Amino acid sequence: MDIKLTNHGAKRLRERLGLPKKACKRAAQLAFDKGMTFKDTTGPAYRYFHKIYAKNTAVNNTKIYGQFAYLFADNVLVTVLNLPKDITFVKKTRPL
């Protein structure tokens, strides 16, 4: 799916990741395709993202990639947040 950037989302990518303008769309696409979803988290990470969803009603897709949370509304990047340092993300796995 083709990703679009809002002005605010592109500004936050440049500010927080230190990317040049031309690399912003590629970084957002990579996070959208390979990032961990909200449903894959457990414990404190799950509660953190539940709080983000409660504050941002327009956001319906959150991806975790690296040490950042990418907030999307469908396929449009809205903003990028730094993850809290005390939260570790462990992907859910199904039992054997």
Residue 56: the pLDDT is: 80
- Number of domains composing the chain: 1
What tens digit of pLDDT does each residue of 71-84 get?
Answer: 999 999 999 999 88
Q: Is residue 65 part of a domain?
A: yes
Domain of 29? 4-81
Per-residue pLDDT band for 28 (boundaries 50, 70, 90) equals very high
pTM for the whole thing?
0.85
Report the distance separating Cα 2 and Cα 59, nearest Å: 17
Q: Is residue 50 part of a domain?
A: yes
**3-state SS of the chain?**
CCCEECHHHHHHHHHHHCCCHHHHHHHHHHHHHHCEEHHHCCHHHHHHHHHHHHHCCCCCEEEEECCEEEEEECCEEEEEEECCCCCCCCCCCCCC
Q: Is residue 88 part of a domain?
A: no
Q: What are phi and psi of 60, to 5 degrees?
A: -125, 5
Q: Is residue 66 part of a domain?
A: yes
Q: Is residue 96 part of a domain?
A: no
What tens digit of pLDDT does each residue of 41-61 get?
Answer: 888 888 888 888 888 888 888
- Asked if 19 contacts 27 with a C-beta cutoff of 8 angstroms, the reply is yes
Query: pLDDT at residue 94 above 70?
Result: no
Report the distance separating Cα 14 and Cα 65, nearest Å: 15
Query: pLDDT at residue 31 above 90?
Result: yes
Q: Is residue 74 part of a domain?
A: yes
Q: Is residue 86 part of a domain?
A: no
Q: Is residue 90 part of a domain?
A: no
